[in-house]
């Protein structure tokens, strides 16, 4: 079956997600995060793209980029090859580091642009890795107003009047969870149970507890890609909400991600 053609952004702005192959961690030590940002900076200079936001998570990366002449596929390929080559040499591994096809969404209007920036910045808060976005070391939110590889002047220029303050306002884990309580659930408990069984074979919380950590992590990641809430996953697996958030996290790297 042929791949669907990648959508082209008339604005030149894309929200990109690069994920580790098999959802494996792509950052194991602080040096790895620093090296990825170096590769991103080098890619920015070579391709002429502008970095508007970024967030490095244990097994994936969110980027908001405005491309110039080089298409988005070439930009991300350049970035992925640079970092993966270094990572593989460091850890003595071979093969792909990232999933073959990265995700990209064109950003064509002001409202979506603001929501994408906010989503990228809030990612570590929603995952339980930081109490607030500006405390997370591996997010461009932390470096607002300070020199960084982000083109902050361009970011502010693209923001509608007053939107920058809204996007950068402090949100905590509890405030994000409170905002979600008013949303209607997308799936019933039975539907979540069926999805869990399909993902890992577990037909009860007791079955799930006997799975390896790797199998638990893969199942949770699969349910999250289907927009199943942390609370529903917790009820289906018998784990706590915080455990569900953290089960797939690369421990040492993220433990040092918050100052």
Which residue ranges make up each domain of the chain? 13-177, 183-253
Place of tokens 């996953």: 233
Annotate 175-193 with b (16+ C-beta within 10 A) or e (fewer).
eeeeeeeeeeeebeeeebb
Tokens of 33: 């995060």
- Position 183 scores a pLDDT of 40
Q: Using an 8 Å Cβ cutoff, are 120 and 15 in contact?
A: yes
Fold of domain 13-177: Alpha-Beta Plaits (3.30.70)
Of 122, 117, 147, whose CA–CA distance to 52 is shortest? 117
Query: Residue 48 has what pLDDT?
Result: 95
101: phi then psi, degrees, rounded to nearest 5: -115, 110
CA atoms lying within 13 Å on the CB side of residue 196? 29
The answer to whether the CB of 146 falls within 8 A of the CB of 139 is no
Mean pLDDT by 10 residues, the chain (259 residues): 71 93 88 96 96 94 94 95 95 89 88 89 86 89 87 89 68 44 57 87 91 86 74 90 69 45
What's the pLDDT at 185? 45
The Cα 80–Cα 237 span in angstroms is 34
DSSP string spanning 68-104? -SS-HHHHHHHHHHHHHHHHHHHHT--S-SB-SS-EE
Q: Write out the DSSP string of 30-50.
A: HHHHHHHHHHHHHHHHHH--E
The confidence score (pLDDT) of residue 179 equals: 40
Cβ 167 vs Cβ 174: under 8 Å = no
Residue matched to tokens 């969870």: 177
Q: Which candidate, 242, 118, 225, places its Cα nearest to that of 179?
A: 118
Task: HSE, CB side, 13 Å, CA atoms: give it for residue 127.
Answer: 27
Edge-to-edge order in the sheet of strand 13-19: 50-56, 60-66, 13-19, 103-106
Position 146 scores a pLDDT of: 83
């Amino acid at each position: 079956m042929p791949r669907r053609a990648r959508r082209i952004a008339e604005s030149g702005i894309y929200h990109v997600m690069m994920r580790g192959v098999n959802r494996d961690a792509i950052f194991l030590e602080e040096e790895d995060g620093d090296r990825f940002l170096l590769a991103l900076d080098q890619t920015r200079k070579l391709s002429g793209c502008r970095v508007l936001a970024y967030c490095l998570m244990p097994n994936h990366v969110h980027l908001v980029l405005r491309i110039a002449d080089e298409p988005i596929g070439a930009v991300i390929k350049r970035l992925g090859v640079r970092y993966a080559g270094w990572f593989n040499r460091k850890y003595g591994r071979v093969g792909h580091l990232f999933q073959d096809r990265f995700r990209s969404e064109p950003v064509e209007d002001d409202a979506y642009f603001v929501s994408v920036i906010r989503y990228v910045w809030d990612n570590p808060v929603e995952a339980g890795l930081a109490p607030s976005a500006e405390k997370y070391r591996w997010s461009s939110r932390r470096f607002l107003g300070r020199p960084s590889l982000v083109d902050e002047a361009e970011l502010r220029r693209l923001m509608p009047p007053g939107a920058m303050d809204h996007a950068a306002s402090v949100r905590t884990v509890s405030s994000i969870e409170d905002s979600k309580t008013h949303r209607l659930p997308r799936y019933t408990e039975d539907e979540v149970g069926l999805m869990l069984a399909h993902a890992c074979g577990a037909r009860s919380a007791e079955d799930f507890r006997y799975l390896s950590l790797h199998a638990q992590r893969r199942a949770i990641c699969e349910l999250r890609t289907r927009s199943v809430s942390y609370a529903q996953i917790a009820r289906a697996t018998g784990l706590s909400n915080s455990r569900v958030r953290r089960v797939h996290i690369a421990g040492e790297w993220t433990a040092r991600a918050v100052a």
